[in-house]
Structure 1
């Protein structure tokens, strides 16, 4: 006679569990930032399913934050809220820059969702740092664009062009 197997419901093998990735929204005030982040995500082979990068064409930090909040609420209503929202903007002479930075830091609900990723004076300064450390007191993009080092490394600079492939091997220099 064959033996009966008794099922106890106990399984000694552990089953693998995969933690879901955070859903991230990155809102930018310009195409330069969008191109850079998309290049970085591709280079790092990150899943683009959970990272959304948008150029929302808002030209002030406060309007960028307002749009980010609306996008967060829309995603929340659809049942798939963002875990983190990054507002990427330049100081670049914006009068509401400091206030918006403070507003982002003061957002209590949802806790630790909104983050400020600002460039001072502008994102192009970060691009320049990929080639040369500098402490020149730039105050805006026009000053950087006229800089001899910037012209040397970006002779035909176009904000809409994706420069990431030229920069990716120099990230450690910029940091």
Structure 2
């Protein structure tokens, strides 16, 4: 480590641990639902000893657009290199949005792919990922429909997250989301036409220990 400002403790390797922990920086556009879910994921007992997760919420009160998140992720990685911080993976978590899409979705995807930034994109929105904790879902839906289906399953009256409801079913959600990915690959559909879908299963796979 060079002399000067030290990286935050959450980004420095701990010495003396039997198994090295994975450090992820996760940027998300949402102001409540996504960060509350990710915080529950970070605190989940099954994951806690595998991944040290630093959650950073970027953007204004109305949320940052995908391209802004990816560019911010590149800035964070460059700063980590200058400061010799240990970051194993950087993730951007954002939505496609229906009926009106976020701008520059393809540009954001391509920029991330060229620069090794991981994406967990939900189409139409993060609520679809939440629905997958309870059931398969393969019909096209817009944002409001996704929120309504989510409320039918968890009884939520707002956008808050009860981690105790979702964490026990995270592997089931990942399995269902991966099946949706395979369906869209077989049909050669990609963003923004891969509705419904969620790349959150790749983030889950990155932090979950393999089942024995």
TM-score, normalization by structure 2: 0.62
1:70 aligned partner:
75
Map 1:32-71; keep pairs closer than 5 Å.
32-43=33-44, 44-47=46-49, 50-57=52-59, 58-71=63-76
Q: 1:156 to 1:83 in 2, by over 3 A?
A: closer
1:123 paired residue among 119, 123, 126? 126
Q: 1:29 to 1:135 in 2, by over 3 A?
A: same
Aligned-residue RMSD, C-alpha: 2.5
2:155 aligned partner:
155
1:137 aligned partner:
140
Offset of 1:127 from its aligned partner?
0.4
Offset of 1:118 from its aligned partner?
0.9
1:170 aligned partner:
169
Alpha carbons 2:21, 2:51 under 8 Å: kept: no
Offset of 1:166 from its aligned partner?
0.9
For residues 168 and 17 of structure 2, the distance between their equivalents in structure 1, rounded to whole angstroms, comes to 35
Tell me, what secondary structure is at the counterpart of 1:135? Answer: coil
1:25 aligned partner:
25
Q: 1:171 to 1:22 in 2, by over 3 A?
A: closer
For residues 86 and 173 of structure 1, the distance between their equivalents in structure 2, rounded to whole angstroms, comes to 21
Alpha carbons 1:90, 1:123 under 8 Å: kept: yes
Offset of 1:164 from its aligned partner?
1.8
Offset of 1:79 from its aligned partner?
1.9
For residues 171 and 85 of structure 2, the distance between their equivalents in structure 1, rounded to whole angstroms, comes to 35
Residue-pair matches, total: 151
- Alignment deviations for residues 40-91 of structure 1 (CA, whole Å, 9 cap, x no partner): 2211242598321112134210011111122222222222142211111111
1:103 aligned partner:
111
For residues 115 and 32 of structure 1, the distance between their equivalents in structure 2, rounded to whole angstroms, comes to 20
1:85 aligned partner:
90
> Which portions of structure 1, spanning 4 or more consecutive aligned residues, are displaced by more than 6 angstroms?
none
For residues 158 and 52 of structure 2, the distance between their equivalents in structure 1, rounded to whole angstroms, comes to 28
Q: For structure 2, list consecutive stretches of 5 or more residues without a partner in the other structure.
A: 1-15, 176-212
Offset of 1:20 from its aligned partner?
3.8
Offset of 1:39 from its aligned partner?
1.0
